């Protein structure tokens, strides 16, 4: 035993934190001698090959529409307790005039992606424009009806830390994001999920990907999230080793680690060179994202999708701003919805081209409503003007691509269940907050997303272990939409 209280020596990140051997200040020193010693110890305990190998789990991307966009009704169809096609009597508050309601003659929902979209959805137009029929046939999804606070980053929608905690890793980092926030996007992560070892790296453009493999950044990444596993190996380091490393500058430290075998130079040269990791040099990426030089949304999406699909990141978050679009017309919202749809479609198309599965989680903070006034301009398409914020009309979407087979031959969704929760009728249209455990609780929604991510890998039984506590108990199946696909 290591001490008089019979406590073993620390071997996990939590134990190091508890005993003061790894505190916030220590983490902030990387890349320095401290971070290099974590690399040294980890290399001794696991071997260098483990440092640049991804976990091989389903790639995961969050699309964070900051501002409070419309998802329900005018884009993804929502209905009453019977599901997407259990239509509401009136969709005016969701931006659809009488002539465009789904029960009106001539209005047929589009189900090319499995999930039912309104046929004039802006999201749908963008997705159709950027995907092939073969890709669309391999996609399915679900809509979650959930109320949330309007136009604020305080909604804990982002589950990426729990995704990392489930075992999803990339060869360079567990998580990425398009902003330098704790979540990598606008909406925050559930506080209970936060772990500084998983803080996302910035990946908002191709140059950010290239920067990940610069010497100093490489050392930081290969240590920050691996520090939890140094265990007993760190105790083997001698005082002379500490002194020797402290006298070197960072490039010399890196060269010394290569020379001593703590970093496998050949593996790094083969797997994570700038040429290999640069999205603009990947033919599959440039074929799908055709305007990388000039389109900021394409740069964010291409960089995140490339790194996640190729295993350099386990998951990533992409924020798209300007979705507080109640600007006195409908045309602004239509344009932004189509832009989001194009980006989602491009990521699905890239996943199909690379023959990789992909889960995309699309969410927004709050939502909007229409008072029935229509925008009859060409861009407004005769739809209801977005009048103001209304989080009661909120929804989020999960989309899954399985590249190996179309959904018609092997179901991606369990029993055609594509809507969780429902909207109420009578009085003010909105989410029935009593319908499910997630209808009025964004943190529970994030847990349900993690549960569905685990279900893709046949691991839904691990949900309580990953997120902490018995969130759904015997009712878990009510929130699981997807079958195992890998």
Whether 485 maps to a domain, the answer reads no
Give how far Cα 3 sits from Cα of 8, 9, 238, 257, 431, Å. 8, 8, 21, 33, 56
Structure tokens at 272: 């994570």
Strand residue runs (E) in 26-93: 60-65
**Residue bearing tokens 């018995």:** 470
Whether 298 maps to a domain, the answer reads yes
- The tally of domains found in the chain comes to 2
Helices (H), 354-456: 442-456
Whether 3 maps to a domain, the answer reads no
Strand partners, 145: 395
Indicate if 140 and 93 belong to the same structural domain: yes
Indicate if 314 and 364 belong to the same structural domain: yes
Q: Which structural domain, as residue segments, surrounds residue 17?
A: 13-46+215-271
Indicate if 311 and 394 belong to the same structural domain: yes
How many CB atoms sit inside 10 A of residue 46's CB?
15
Q: What is the structure's pLDDT at 44?
A: 43
Indicate if 325 and 388 belong to the same structural domain: yes
Nearest CA among 303, 311, 263 for reference residue 282: 303
Structure tokens at 259: 């020379």
Indicate if 339 and 414 belong to the same structural domain: yes
Whether 221 maps to a domain, the answer reads yes
Whether 7 maps to a domain, the answer reads no
How many CB atoms sit inside 10 A of residue 108's CB?
10
Indicate if 281 and 238 belong to the same structural domain: no
**Alpha-carbon 92 to chain mean position:** 31
Distance CA 33, CA 255 (A): 13
Domain boundary among 225, 248, 271: 271
Indicate if 106 and 219 belong to the same structural domain: no
Indicate if 229 and 252 belong to the same structural domain: yes
Cis peptide before 158 (omega within 30 of 0): no
Indicate if 22 and 96 belong to the same structural domain: no
Distance CA 397, CA 403 (A): 19
Whether 486 maps to a domain, the answer reads no
Domain boundary among 250, 271, 292: 271
Structure tokens at 56: 């091989």
Domain boundary among 251, 271, 291: 271
Whether 121 maps to a domain, the answer reads yes
Indicate if 263 and 373 belong to the same structural domain: no
Q: Which residues of 346-385 are buried (b: 16+ CB within 10 A; e: fewer)?
A: bbbbbbbbbebbbbbbbbbbbbbbbeeebbeeeebbebbb
Distance CA 351, CA 339 (A): 19
Indicate if 155 and 127 belong to the same structural domain: yes
Q: What is the structure's pLDDT at 426?
A: 74
Average pLDDT by stretches of 10, the chain with 486 residues: 40 37 31 38 39 74 97 98 96 96 92 98 98 98 96 94 94 91 96 92 93 58 42 41 50 50 47 82 97 96 97 96 92 97 98 98 96 97 96 97 95 96 89 96 97 97 92 93 92
**Alpha-carbon 284 to chain mean position:** 21
Indicate if 179 and 250 belong to the same structural domain: no
Distance CA 199, CA 207 (A): 20
Whether 55 maps to a domain, the answer reads no
């Amino acid at each position: 035993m290591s001490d008089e209280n019979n406590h073993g020596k620390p071997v996990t990140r939590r134990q190091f934190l508890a005993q003061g051997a790894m505190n916030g200040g220590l983490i902030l020193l990387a890349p320095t001698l401290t971070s290099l010693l974590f690399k040294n110890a980890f290399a001794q305990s696991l071997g260098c090959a483990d440092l640049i190998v991804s976990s091989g789990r389903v790639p995961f991307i969050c699309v964070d529409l900051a501002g409070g966009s419309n998802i329900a009704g005018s884009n993804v169809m929502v209905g009453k307790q019977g599901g997407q096609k259990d239509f509401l009597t009136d969709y005016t508050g969701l931006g659809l005039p009488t002539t465009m309601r789904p029960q009106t003659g001539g209005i047929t929902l589009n189900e090319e992606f499995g999930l039912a979209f309104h046929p004039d959805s802006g999201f749908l137009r963008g997705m159709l424009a950027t995907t092939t029929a073969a890709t669309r046939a391999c996609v399915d999804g679900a809509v979650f009806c959930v109320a949330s606070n309007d136009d604020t980053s305080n909604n804990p929608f982002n589950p990426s830390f729990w995704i990392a905690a489930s075992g999803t890793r990339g060869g360079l980092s567990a998580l990425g994001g398009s902003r330098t926030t704790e979540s990598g996007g606008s909406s925050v992560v559930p506080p209970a999920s936060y772990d500084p070892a998983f803080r996302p790296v910035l990946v908002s453009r191709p140059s950010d990907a290239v920067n990940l493999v610069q010497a100093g950044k490489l050392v930081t990444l290969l240590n920050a999230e691996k520090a939890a596993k140094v265990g007993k190996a760190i105790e083997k380091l001698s005082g002379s080793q500490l002194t020797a490393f402290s006298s070197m500058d960072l490039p010399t430290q890196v060269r010394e680690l290569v020379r001593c075998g703590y970093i496998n130079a050949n593996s790094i040269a083969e797997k994570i060179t700038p040429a290999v990791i640069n999205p603009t040099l990947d033919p599959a990426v440039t074929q799908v994202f055709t305007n990388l030089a000039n389109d900021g949304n394409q740069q964010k999406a291409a960089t995140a999708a490339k790194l996640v699909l190729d295993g350099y990141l386990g998951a990533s978050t992409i924020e798209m701003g300007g979705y507080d679009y109640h600007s006195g017309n409908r045309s602004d919202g239509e344009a932004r919805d189509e832009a989001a749809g194009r980006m989602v479609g491009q990521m699905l198309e890239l996943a199909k081209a690379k023959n990789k599965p992909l889960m995309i989680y699309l969410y927004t903070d709050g939502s909007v409503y229409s008072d029935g006034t229509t925008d009859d301009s060409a861009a407004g398409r005769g739809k209801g003007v977005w009048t103001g914020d209304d989080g009661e009309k909120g929804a989020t979407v999960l989309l899954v691509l399985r590249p190996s087979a179309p959904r018609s031959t092997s179901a991606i969704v369990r029993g055609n269940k594509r809507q969780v929760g429902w909207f109420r009728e009578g009085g003010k249209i909105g989410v029935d907050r009593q319908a499910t455990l997630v209808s009025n609780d964004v943190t529970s929604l994030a847990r349900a997303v993690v549960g569905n991510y685990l279900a893709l890998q046949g691991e839904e039984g691990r949900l309580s272990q990953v997120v902490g506590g018995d969130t759904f108990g015997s009712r878990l199946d009510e929130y699981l939409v997807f079958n195992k696909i890998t």
